[in-house]
Chains A and B, each alone.
Chain A
């Protein structure tokens, strides 16, 4: 046992000395390999973290949202539906919601405007997200001038700015009073954007949804699980798009590494012959090549993964943020909660380290099985 371990250690040591001989070539290969792993791992970490973040946020979302459809499009829903839906058995609460989008011609950004509840949102006051505050250079107590539907100015005093920790949900948010909301958009009274429905038993949700759909044929109940699924799909889709962009670099790396790993130079052949002639067995030579492949690919994998972890969870993935977070003028600044998907990491390992190591060992097989006496005739 001790001898077997010593054999591995000795051959590994020679492998490292051997790799250092072609320093520039091997370091450039390592750098390329590292870059590919770094990009892929960053992407994996980022998409996983965003999906988890979205799931956490949606946990606080209402169990069900009821919209009204008109000609296949969402329309305002009569607030009077709320009382009737609340009467359905199993429904705990129904809250009409007022929300919409506001286009800010000053900086081309779209804000989300929500009518808040009375105690927190007094008329003439607003609570804004950190993104809005930054875009409009606002501080608490400043006035935020908005333009209503008829181009009349609406001045709102900033009461609170959401902390940047809530940026993911609140970066582009403006919470105003109901009265200001109606004034801004000429929103008709007795109507709501949608209804937020809370149901006591989550298993009853489909039944309640069916009852609502049957009672109000023009309504569309949307369950929280459906929203969650849509978010997962969106992040998967965005991740997929970025992956496609990365695939070209991945492919060129595969071709490069395949060429490097499989092409056995005359010098390498001669070296294998020398090793065989001085008593190395075929298995020793293959072990040497195995360690060579592992040394390069595992170093790249580990370094690339660690760098990707830092890039995503400490620096908030500056390389991918624009592509993956959204397409708004206001990008939320937020720190992702570290989450590592072991399955995806294992997949990345098997798709990068294993093929490279195999590509290093296989071509040596033939060279390593030559008769040792060939070395006598060089």
Chain B
């Protein structure tokens, strides 16, 4: 369970151009479900996901991870709960690395290196043996039917293949939560539906998936459990799709 309590994220605080991207959001995201954040551009979806994913700190408010095995040496409020907003930077990094997997709108793969290397990239600094995470990466490529591309440079891949590499990369450290920001923005309808099928499979494996999207193929998908509608940084509606 991810619990958000009065989360606000402002940019350029105290300056004339101050801008509030997320405005006092209180929300509970259930584990093992697919939660879609829907809303127009500038509604605060991406900012909210970066705060949840420990990529940025909220300006105010608190975030609790419950029932998530987060890698921190000490935990607040009992063993099952971690209050992540007050943790020092290096613990946030550790949580981000071990708990969250990210899929970006532009895929954000590193050009010039192979598919396999891209997938292994988040595991390099963990100190895990190369053989172990390499085997895991090959297994993931197999799962997403792109094992034949393992030795190919990512520059030569199609949009759908890039998407699958990005998904495989997000799973390399075996995270319990996947965060995807506008994952279908560069895909056609068929590939978008394929993506949702993969996400459905991940849910079946017990992973929580948080998606920011304004694509109907995503938020109308039968795999979605909860739909959160956002506008001007605030949650205007949150409903279960079940």
Task: Give Cα A53 to B38, complex, Å.
Answer: 82
Chain A residues closer than 8 Å to B56, beta-carbon distance: 371-373
Q: CA–CA, A160 to B114, complex, Å?
A: 70
Encoded as 1 (CB less than 8 Å from any A CB) or 0, chain B from 48 to 82 comes to 01100001100000000000000000000000000
Return the contact of B108 from the options A9, A17, A378 (Cβ within 8 A): A378
State A277–B105 Cα separation when bound (angstroms).
13
Q: Which residues of A contact B121 (CB under 8 A)?
A: 14, 275, 278
Interchain residue pairs with CB less than 8 A apart (9): A6-B127, A6-B130, A7-B127, A11-B125, A17-B114, A21-B113, A372-B50, A373-B55, A376-B55
**Contacts beyond the supplied A373-B55, A378-B108: 11 A-B pairs with Cβ under 8 Å:** A7-B127, A274-B108, A277-B108, A278-B102, A278-B108, A371-B56, A372-B55, A372-B56, A373-B47, A375-B108, A376-B46
- What 1/0 mask marks residues of chain A from 298 to 323 whose CB sits below 8 Å from any chain B CB? 00000000000000000000000000
On chain B, the residues within 8 Å of A59 by CB distance are none
Is the CB–CB distance between A377 and B129 below 8 Å?
no
Residue of B with least CB distance to A274: B108
Nearest B residue to A281 via CB reads: B93
Interface string of A354-374 (1 = CB under 8 A from B): 000000000000000001110
Whether B124 pairs with A277 at a CB distance below 8 angstroms is no
Say yes or no: is A236 at the interface (Cβ < 8 Å to chain B): no
A-chain residues with CB within 8 Å of residue B90 when the two chains form the complex? 281
- By the criterion CB–CB under 8 Å, are A6 and B128 in contact? yes
1/0 per position for B122-156, CB-CB distance to A under 8 A?
Answer: 11111111100000000000000000000000000
* A372 neighbours in B (Cβ, 8 Å): 50, 55-56, 96
- B23 CB contacts on chain A under 8 angstroms: none
Q: How far is it, in angstroms, between the C-alpha of A17 and the C-alpha of B153 when the chains are bound?
A: 12
Inter-chain CA distance A280–B110, complex, in Å, is: 14
User: Which residues in A have their C-beta under 8 angstroms from that of B181?
Assistant: 376
- Determine if B10 is an interface residue (Cβ-Cβ < 8 Å): no
Q: Given A280-B125, A284-B125, A371-B56, answer yes or no on A378-B117 (Cβ-Cβ < 8 Å).
A: no
Chain A residues with Cβ under 8 A from B55's Cβ?
Answer: 277, 371-373, 376
* Binary contact readout A267-304 vs B (1 if CB under 8 angstroms, 0 otherwise): 10001011101111100100100000000000000000
Q: In the complex, what residues of A have CB within 8 A of residue B114's CB? A: 17
Contact between A373 and B130, CB atoms less than 8 A apart: no
Question: How big is the B interface, by class?
Answer: 35 or more
Task: Give A280 to B125 CA distance when docked, in angstroms.
Answer: 7
For B46, give the chain A residue with the smallest CB separation: A376
Residues of chain A in range 14-29 having any CB-CB distance to chain B below 8 Å: 14, 17-18, 21-22
Residue of A nearest to B182 (CB): A376
Inter-chain contacts of A18 with B (CB < 8 A): 112-113
A17 touches B117 (CB 8 A): yes
Closest CB in chain A relative to B49 CB, distance in Å: 8
Residues of A in contact (CB 8 Å), total 33
Instruction: For B124, list chain A residues within 8 Å (CB).
Output: 7, 10-11, 13-14, 280, 284
B173 within 8 A of A: yes
Chain A contacts for B129, CB-based, 8 A: 6
In the complex, how many angstroms separate the beta carbon of B168 from the nearest chain A beta carbon? 12
Which 5 A/B pairs are nearest by Cβ-Cβ distance?
Answer: A3-B127, A279-B97, A21-B112, A373-B50, A373-B55
Q: How far is the CA of A4 from the CA of B108 in the complex (A)?
A: 27
Chain B residue with the shortest CB-CB distance to A378: B106
Chain B's nearest CB lies how many Å from the CB of A290? 13
Interface residues of A (CB under 8 A from B): 2-4, 6-7, 9-11, 13-14, 17-18, 21-22, 267, 271, 273-275, 277-281, 284, 287, 371-373, 375-378
Q: Are B96's CB and A279's CB within 8 A?
A: yes
Q: Which residue, of A279, A372, A373, has the highest number of chain B Cβ atoms within 10 A?
A: A279
CA distance in complex: A151, B117 (Å) = 84
Chain B residues within an 8 Å CB radius of A10: 123-125, 127, 130
Q: How far is the CA of A315 from the CA of B47 in the complex (A)?
A: 66
**Does A279 contact B125, Cβ atoms closer than 8 Å?**
yes
Q: Give the complex CA separation of A287 and B55 in angstroms.
A: 21
Residues of A within 8 A of B50 (CB): 372-373, 376
Within the complex, the shortest CB–CB distance from B57 to chain A, in Å, comes to: 9
Chain B residues whose C-beta falls within 8 Å of the C-beta of A17 in the assembled complex: 113-114, 117
Task: Say whether B169 faces chain A, with CB atoms less than 8 Å apart.
Answer: yes
- B102 contacts across to A, CB distance below 8 A: 277-278
In the complex, A277 Cα to B166 Cα: how many Å? 13
- Contacts A279-B96, A378-B108 given; indicate if A7 touches B113 (C-beta within 8 A): no
A273 to chain B, nearest CB (A): 8
The residue in B90, B105, B110, B125 that gathers the most chain A C-beta atoms within 10 A of its C-beta is: B125
CB-CB nearest in chain A for B130? A10
- A-contact 0/1 string along B88-119, CB 8 Å cutoff: 00100100110000101110111111100100
Measured in the bound complex, the distance between the Cα atoms of B108 and A267 in whole Å is 11
B165 to chain A minimum Cβ distance, whole angstroms, is 12
Q: How far is the CA of A18 from the CA of B153 in the complex (A)?
A: 12
B122 to chain A: which residues have CB within 8 Å? 278-280
Q: How far is the CA of A7 from the CA of B133 in the complex (A)?
A: 12
Query: By the criterion CB–CB under 8 Å, are A7 and B125 in contact?
Result: yes
Distance of A277 Cα from B97 Cα, bound (Å): 9
The residues of B that contact A22 with a CB separation of less than 8 Å are 112
